[in-house]
């Protein structure tokens, strides 16, 4: 079973199991999650916009280690409110 996760604002960092993750957003309002480490879990970024819409990034896995990034094409109109890791349990 995947560990519990929580949402963070862009620029925030958190630990998810053995992964060190960082939430980011670019100037166009696209949110992303970058996680480094080795953990056999498939995950993606779940981005919530301040306007209320939610978008999902591409599926990634860190089973072989390294750094993986899940980026959305959210284009949040106002800005990205928060980003959470969305794992396959």
Give per-residue pLDDT as tens, 45-66: 999 999 999 999 999 999 999 9
pLDDT computed for residue 1 by the predictor: 54
User: Which of 18, 20, 29 is CA-nearest to residue 10?
Assistant: 29
Residue 61, token pair as written in the block: 């896995």
pLDDT bin (cut points 50, 70, 90) of residue 2 is low
Rounded distance between C-alpha atoms, residue 8 and residue 14, angstroms: 8
Separation of first and last alpha carbons in the chain = 5
Neighbours of 41 (CB within 10 A): 19
pTM score of the predicted model: 0.90
Rounded distance between C-alpha atoms, residue 37 and residue 54, angstroms: 26
């Amino acid at each position: 079973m995947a560990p519990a996760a929580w949402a963070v604002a862009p620029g925030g960092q958190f630990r998810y199991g053995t992964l060190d993750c960082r939430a980011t957003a670019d100037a166009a309002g696209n949110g992303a999650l970058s996680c480094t480490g080795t953990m056999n879990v498939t995950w993606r970024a779940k981005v919530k916009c301040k306007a209320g819409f939610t978008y999902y990034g591409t599926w990634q896995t860190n089973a072989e280690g390294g750094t993986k990034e899940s980026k959305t094409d959210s284009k949040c109109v106002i800005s990205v409110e928060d980003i959470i890791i969305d794992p396959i349990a």
